[in-house]
Amino acid sequence: MRVNNKVHAAIVSRIMVRFENVGMRYGAGPEILRDVTFHLEPGSFTFLTGLSGAGKTTLLKLIGIAEPPARGLITLFGRDLATTRRRDFPALRRRVGVVFQDFRLLDHLSAFDNVALPLRIAGRRLQNYAQDVEELLSWVGLGDRLDARPPTLSGGEQQRIAIARAVVARPDLLIADEPTGNVDSDIGDRLIRLFAELNRLGTTVLIATHDRGLLEKVRAREMRLVDGRLIELSRARQ
Amino acid sequence: MSDDRAHSPSRILPREQGAAPLDLVIAVMAFLAALALGASFLTERAAMSWRLGLSNRMTVQIVPPPKGDTDSMMANETAAVLRVLGDWPGIVHAHALTQDETDRLVEPWLGKNALIPELPLPRLIDATTSPSASVDLSGLARALARAAPHAVLDDHSRWIGRLKALADTIIWSAYGILALIAIATAAIVSFATRAGLEAHHDMVQLLHQMGAQSGFIARAFEWHHFLSALLAGLIGAGASALLFVFAGGLESVGIEAVPFLPPLALRANELLWLLAVPASAALIALVTARLSVLSALREIY
């Protein structure tokens, strides 16, 4: 019995994200997520689908420790968030790269500085990260726009900067909210390949999207949210 | 490929639009604080010079009688007072002021061409005591009363005491003003920081979401306010220093200061002390901004 408990603890501690009966509502509003239960294995690639307003963004917020759940258990990298000290949250958040649906770029910073922001937050020095940032911006097709400010860039260009910012620190977990919503198919393919490459290198990826075409490009598990409830559509699309 | 010189990390917090009024308020605060600090220096210096000028000194006044042969009576009593003072233990020098010297003393109040000869001015006898000796003042007063009935002894202790009380009041008032200005500056910066947090709420949320420690976010705000307060403080204290230099210049070209009030010019070392004002303003801004940001961040999940 004790051996079984130890094995179970070891398995749980390896799980990247674990939700058990999680519910979420804002204030006294309606419940947006209901009894959501799932887990993400290390190195997995998962699509989170659902209609607009199904609760995809809220679920990503809970994973990114942006909001506390109304009820239920959430563990991140084996840590129960309910019992984790608040002062330890920043270190957990730094292991999660987030691509926001509305990009959230800082307009007064250049493309280079926006992408470098997670590295500055992590305490790295300019001379140690400048080349990585430039290479990443070149990879997403913005190598000639290093000093451009976001307001001077198109929506697609801003989205690519947001994605570069989310992946530049090689996070253990990448969550992306409609990451290809504003780019053409060529750029979209390139970004998906970037996510797949990161996933191949060990990053766990969760992408929220309503673009069914995206699901055809990567063999991955799909979870669908319907009226705040999670439906497992496929364990793995091989 | 990478050229580090091409990139220097930008300020995380953008220069706020509409920050000029805050800078102006801090500059005015620094100006007033530097004035208060300068006034305390001037008063302390004046009080010291008053004390040095009057210590080990005493004055005997021979008050003119309302009627009778005033001149001969005052001459006789002056001679008698000088004899008593000359023989009294602890007194090293006694000197009766001439009419010219007395006239010069009252000139600042009555002017040069006033009818001074018509006025019944007392004869003044200035005495110097030995710093190491203890003078029996009550015995001296009795001896003077016997030798010269119209003589009045003044050892300046009351006058010095009042001056000291006045100087202390001015100096402590200046310190009080400095404390009030410091509190007001802290309150203003705290308010501005809170407003800044509101204005940059999305940015703070983003940094928070990306795993920035509270100290990282606080540093963005505290350096912003530190530099603003330092610059504004330098401008305010600089204006105050110029005012003191200008006042000193007026005195050097012959525009007299009011008698008994201290000269308004600060010495070089005192002017340097005014730099403490912008340094303090910057420090207050830094600490206040940091505490305000950390307090606000505690409210975010």
User: How far, rounded to the nearest angstrom, does the alpha carbon of residue B88 sit from its chain's CA centroid?
Assistant: 40
Task: Say whether pLDDT at A238 is over 50.
Answer: no
Residue A203: per-residue pLDDT = 92
Give the pLDDT mean for B55-80: 84
Suggest the residue from B13, B203, B210 to mutate for an interface test with chain A (most A CBs closer than 10 A): B210
Task: Give residue for tokens 């407003």.
Answer: B195
pLDDT band at residue A234 using 50, 70 and 90 as cut-offs = low
Minimum-distance CB partner of B301 among A67, A116, A130 = A67
| B187: nearest Cα among B29, B80, B75 | B29
Model pTM score: 0.70
- Predicted complex ipTM: 0.86
CB–CB of A158/A105 below 8 Å?
Answer: yes
In chain B, residues with a C-beta closer than 8 Å to the C-beta of A131 are 1-2
pLDDT band at residue B113 using 50, 70 and 90 as cut-offs = low
SS3 for chain A, per residue?
CHHHHHHHHHHHHHCCEEEEEEEEECCCCCEEEEEEEEEECCCCEEEEEECCCCCHHHHHHHHCCCCCCCEEEEEECCEECCCCCHHHHHHHHCCEEEECCCCCCCCCCCHHHHHHHHHHHCCCCHHHHHHHHHHHHHHCCCCCCCCCCHHHCCHHHHHHHHHHHHHCCCCCEEEEECCCCCCCHHHHHHHHHHHHHHHHCCCEEEEECCCHHHHHHCCCEEEEEECCEEEEEECCCC
| A50: nearest Cα among A235, A230, A237 | A230
Suggest the residue from A61, A119, A120 to mutate for an interface test with chain B (most B CBs closer than 10 A): A120
pLDDT band at residue A13 using 50, 70 and 90 as cut-offs = low
Indicate yes or no: CB of A93 within 8 angstroms of CB of B209: yes
Indicate yes or no: CB of B210 within 8 angstroms of CB of A116: no
Give the pLDDT mean for A195-208: 91
Task: Say whether pLDDT at B260 is over 90.
Answer: no
Indicate yes or no: CB of B7 within 8 angstroms of CB of A90: no
CB–CB of B226/B282 below 8 Å?
Answer: yes
What's the pLDDT tens digit per position in A30-47? 999 999 999 999 999 999
The A-side interface with B (CB below 8 A) comprises: 64-68, 89-96, 98, 104, 106-110, 112-113, 116-118, 120-122, 126-127, 130-131, 134-135, 146
Task: Give residue for tokens 């913005």.
Answer: A142
Residue A237: per-residue pLDDT = 47
Highest mean pLDDT among A178-182, A212-216, B31-35: B31-35
Indicate yes or no: CB of A134 within 8 angstroms of CB of B212: no
Highest mean pLDDT among A67-76, A188-197, B21-30, B186-195: A67-76
Suggest the residue from B7, B200, B204, B217 to mutate for an interface test with chain A (most A CBs closer than 10 A): B7
Percent of chain A with pLDDT over 90: 59
Task: Say whether pLDDT at B2 is over 50.
Answer: no
In chain B, residues with a C-beta closer than 8 Å to the C-beta of A108 are 10, 14
Indicate yes or no: CB of A113 within 8 angstroms of CB of B9: yes
User: Which stretch of A174-178, B114-118, B155-159, B244-248 has the lowest confidence by average pLDDT?
Assistant: B114-118
